[in-house]
């Protein structure tokens, strides 16, 4: 039994003996060479001006990524000067999204009523019908068929007034 323990310790002793050799001349030469190099000067960390938070005040304005209202539409629709959005009515769910991000994906008919299925781009599909509001610019659905939705948006004319802008969402035919 004692011989078995000795034989088990024999490889460990051989490994420790290999580590104990005093041949470190190459390491000592490298350390001497590194210590002989001239010492450099480290530049101080540059000072930066503190961050100032930006307050974005144009959230109620038209997005710069939306298509601008065409001049022809402004002159044609300029006669409807009495147009203005009803800011006191309760907002509908799909008014949270830009009209460009909404996709018409289908229709349903129930008891003679045509319902349009609209994908909000975030994984939700919603039922709407003629008279519902969609889009951020007070868009009201004025006509709907199996292939498209006609929407009238109320947008600012750039001054104190409002004007109506017709828009259309066509049926998206996926893969």
Domains and CATH numbers, the chain: 71-170 (2.30.30.830)
Q: Is residue 113 a contact partner of residue 128, using CB atoms and an 8 Å limit?
A: no
d(CA 78, CA 148): 26
Judged by DSSP in three states, 97 sits in coil
Region of 158 (left: φ > 0; alpha: ψ -120 to 50; beta: rest) is left
**Mean pLDDT, 10 residues at a time, over the chain (175 residues)?**
74 70 80 86 87 77 70 51 84 92 92 92 91 93 92 85 88 76
d(CA 153, CA 69): 11
Distance of CA 26 to the CA centre of its chain: 57
d(CA 119, CA 104): 6
Q: Which residue has the tokens 């997005």?
A: 63
Q: Which residue has the tokens 């519902």?
A: 132
Q: What is the pLDDT of residue 161?
A: 81
């Amino acid at each position: 039994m004692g011989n078995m323990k000795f034989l088990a310790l024999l490889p460990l002793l051989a490994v420790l003996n290999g580590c104990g050799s005093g041949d470190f001349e190459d390491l000592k030469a490298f350390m001497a060479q590194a210590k002989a190099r001239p010492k450099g000067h480290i530049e101080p960390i540059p000072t930066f001006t503190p961050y100032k938070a930006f307050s974005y005040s144009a959230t109620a304005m038209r997005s710069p990524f939306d298509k601008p209202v065409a001049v022809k539409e402004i002159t044609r629709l300029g006669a409807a000067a009495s147009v203005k959005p009803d800011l006191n009515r309760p907002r509908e769910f799909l008014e949270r999204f830009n009209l460009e991000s909404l996709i018409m994906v289908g229709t349903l008919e129930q008891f003679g009523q045509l319902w349009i299925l609209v994908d909000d781009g975030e994984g939700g599909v919603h039922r709407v019908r003629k008279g519902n509001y969609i889009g951020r610019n007070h868009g009201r659905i004025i006509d709907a068929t199996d292939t498209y939705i006609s929407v009238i948006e109320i947008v600012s004319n750039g001054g104190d007034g409002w004007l109506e802008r017709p828009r259309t969402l066509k049926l998206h035919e996926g893969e």
